[in-house]
Chain A
């Protein structure tokens, strides 16, 4: 299976994105990072650590579970109800610039759900989107503000983001869907 990014490349990419966030927002004053569960959360924490090194400021960081906002929730002819995990946003998002963080941007449906979920917590002044990989095939008008790597894919392929915090090591690989369809 082709490796799209190794651990070192993931680290450099996050450092670059952190600098872009500081540049675009002219600092990190009203910023907060919110990771989308599961793998968006460790990515958001790493960005927070890099932002701290660059600016000396602790940027508030939260975790968002979008399960209860999914558009395919009750159409479960195929699988079980997805497991719901805790959302942890221990700060007010009102008036802040929220940087939403996820691993892979694909159809855009996860981000649509995340936007709905976020709006239920308050009225941020902006919401920006970070993804480690944009693999195309959007089904909704959604676009990322910061992209680690653009990867042209077919729908028969899967992009697996593995992170040390969840999977033991950093690696992004491109694989094939087993069987047909997705």
Chain B
């Protein structure tokens, strides 16, 4: 395999697992060109003119949905977003029936978020259109990991050999899984930290180093990434109280000082201030949290552009 990929192999982006380092680099390089488009006086290029993109969000989302919509519009695609609360899903239609009905309208790409892990894979097998996973249950959120990697690379110039600490709810987090796949594929050293009750079984198989001591994870890190404590998924007693969680795992200025002096602070949002991160850290000079949001548009433009070129059914170039 050559050092540079010129295309993605599939018609879909369902997860980071299965992407090669070359494909990830292609997406990140393309995103760099796309970021410049957003800085122009006319923030629009005609690349996806005449293409139809459907945003199908079965879970509430502001940041990701808006980011995809902006990305689609900047590429001149025709887009429509389906809010599930007002759709026929509430009348009992199955996912496959919804997909077949949308497919009949001949969209080129469907962006979907769903509460069930693997829902996008089901859709990808059913539909001709390219499917982009915008988060499926506790499985993957590939564009989030790509925008995180883009942000790290933008600040550090590389991914290989960096120490990245990820702390928080590892068990329920699709952001964690996608980041673990991506960063380890690109040669970064990933430390994963959280209470034992919030660690997925077999976490070491992801190629990360698990620890329950936040100081150990953060020490000497180039990037520190917090995950949201997902209060809506906390039906069991995973830890005694939010206050105790903050005491043991919360990112405070004192803990940040253990990282490299030029370390960056990241959070995929939405933040629970005073739970996983202290405001002084979230709003501090090392925080790149708003850069992550801006870079999300560029990365999603890159993914849409690369997928809209069609699948790789013919022989590879």
User: Which residues from chain A sit less than 8 Å from chain B, CB to CB?
Assistant: 65, 67-69, 73-74, 76-77, 79-81, 83-88, 116-117, 120-122
Contacts and interface: CB of A to CB of B under 8 A. Distances in A.
A76 B42 contact: no
B30 A120 contact: no
Contacts of A88: 36
A122 B41 CA distance: 8
Contacts of A68: 37, 45-47, 75, 305
A116 B33 contact: no
Nearest to B29: A83
A86 B36 CA distance: 7
A79 B41 contact: no
Contacts of A79: 317
B1 to A, nearest CB: 15
A81 B40 contact: no
A123 to B, nearest CB: 10
Nearest to B5: A80
Nearest to A116: B46
Contacts of A80: 6-7, 309, 317
Task: Tell me whether chain B's interface is mostly helix, strand or loop, or mixed.
Answer: loop
Task: Tell me whether chain A's interface is mostly helix, strand or loop, or mixed.
Answer: loop
Contacts of A77: 310
Interface of B: 6-7, 26, 29-30, 32-34, 36-37, 40-42, 44-48, 50-51, 75, 302, 305-306, 308-310, 317
A131 B40 CA distance: 27
A121 B40 contact: yes
Ranked 9 nearest A-B pairs via Cβ: A81-B309, A80-B7, A68-B45, A84-B33, A68-B47, A120-B42, A80-B6, A86-B33, A76-B309
Given A80-B309, A86-B33, A121 B51 contact: no
Contact of A73 (B30, B32, B47): B47
B45 A120 contact: yes
Contact of B40 (A65, A69, A85, A120): A120
Contacts of A116: 46
Contact of B33 (A87, A117, A122): A87
B70 to A, nearest CB: 16
5 contacts: A74-B48, A81-B306, A83-B30, A84-B305, A116-B46
A116 B46 CA distance: 10
B46 A69 contact: yes
